[in-house]
Amino acid sequence: MAKHDYSFFGLSNEPADSLAEAGQIYGMDFEVEKCPLYYADAKGNPTRISPWDEQVVNVDKNRAPIGVVGIGYQIVRHLHAFDIAQPLIDAGAHIVGGGCPNNGERAYLVLQTDQKLEIAPGDCIVNRYLLLNSYDGTGKIEVRFTPYRSTYGIAFTTNANRPLAFKHTRNVAKRLTLTKRVFRGVNENWNQFSDSVKKMLAISLNQQQATEFVEAVMPATSDEPSTRLENQRAEVMEIYHKTGIGTRMPQCRGTLFGLVQAFAEWADIHRTVRKSKKRDDIAAALDTRLVADSAKKKAKAFAVAVALTKLGNKTAGAFGK
């Protein structure tokens, strides 16, 4: 597999020097408002559809509709939502990408600090954060910790990836202001991640241990054999032993981290992104890599590996088989 300098799963990788510039580059800087939902009855008269739902419209684009939300939904402009990250930017983080696809119903901002972990010469995992805001009621305001191996387009998922999230309720603006201090934990998240990866790189696995690890991350849910489950397990093992990044890197080959990485490759590169009428291609890819079932398997693989680092190379029989 050739190396690539990936953007973040389809988002723009054009950098911005400030949140204001990001709004212009990524198309986030526009006004929206809520309005009642109406339909034309048989006589052509406008009739309110529901007193509990409203529509968000893009004022800057001739009031084009964006989505339907509950009457209690509080609009927070994309750039105002992302202002929560200003302390991180002030501390030296860079805006390295973002996007506002379709009609602007969702906005994404990618931040990167100067912290990195070198796996091989010129090949690093970098410290990234993904911010999300939604105008169509399908998402919250979120901040996700997303360590990223940019040369191969892989995002790692850890327990620290659980997003800081805010619903669009009436007190959301106050909550955003109060929780800017959340970024005090940025260094702690990264230090825990990088320390864990270093320990995983130092642990070798034999065939039995690797098989037990995969089965622990992808357990059978019934006594009946599942062809789909067996195929998924085989795909991960194929990546780990034969086709994956780690097989060509002595630093990773046969290690616990190599298997964690195999799960990340399987989820981020080999898994098919399911299309949806409610999501554009970029949103679908981000959900698959960071939220959906394959992302949960990445997180579980990392969690199991962290637990095993406490056992060192004595991992045989560690899965309770």
User: Does residue 169 sit in the same domain as residue 212?
Assistant: no
pLDDT in tens, 143-155: 888 999 988 889 9
Six-digit token string for 71: 């009457």
In a domain, 315, yes or no: no
Are residues 54 and 86 located together in one domain of the fold?
Answer: yes
Picking from 311, 274, 305, 267, the residue whose alpha carbon sits closest to that of residue 289 is: 267
- Shared domain for 118 and 75, answered yes or no, is yes
Say if residues 119 and 149 touch (Cβ distance below 8 Å): yes
- Find tokens 């327990």 and name the residue: 159
Q: Percent of the chain, pLDDT > 70?
A: 84
269 shares its domain with 305: yes
Range list of β-strands (E), the chain: 32-36, 38-40, 46-48, 53-58, 64-70, 94-99, 106-120, 123-134, 141-145, 148-149, 154-155, 164-166
Q: Are 246 and 160 found together in one domain?
A: no
| Residue 187 is assigned to a structural domain of this protein | no
280: closest CA among 288, 292, 290?
288
Q: Is 185 a domain residue? A: no
- How much is the pTM? 0.86
Segment of 83-87, 146-150, 219-223 carrying the highest mean pLDDT: 146-150
Residue 27, sorted as left (phi over 0), alpha (psi -120 to 50) or beta, turns out to be left
| % of residues, the chain, pLDDT over 90 | 45
> What is the pLDDT at residue 158?
82
Say if 207 falls within a structural domain: yes
Q: For the chain, give the mean pLDDT.
A: 85
pLDDT in tens, 255-310: 999 999 999 999 988 877 666 666 677 777 787 778 778 888 999 999 999 999 98
Question: Which range marks the domain in which residue 47 is found?
Answer: 2-180
User: Quick check: 68 and 55 in contact, CB under 8 A?
Assistant: yes
| Residue 321, pLDDT above cutoff 50 | no
- Per the structure, the count of domains in the chain is 2
Domain boundary residue, one of 126, 150, 180: 180
Mean pLDDT for 214-224 is 87
Q: Are strands 164-166 and 154-155 parallel, antiparallel or unpaired?
A: unpaired
Q: Which residues contact 310 (CB under 8 A, 6 or more apart)?
A: none
Looking at residue 109, its pLDDT comes to 95
Residue 215 in domain: yes
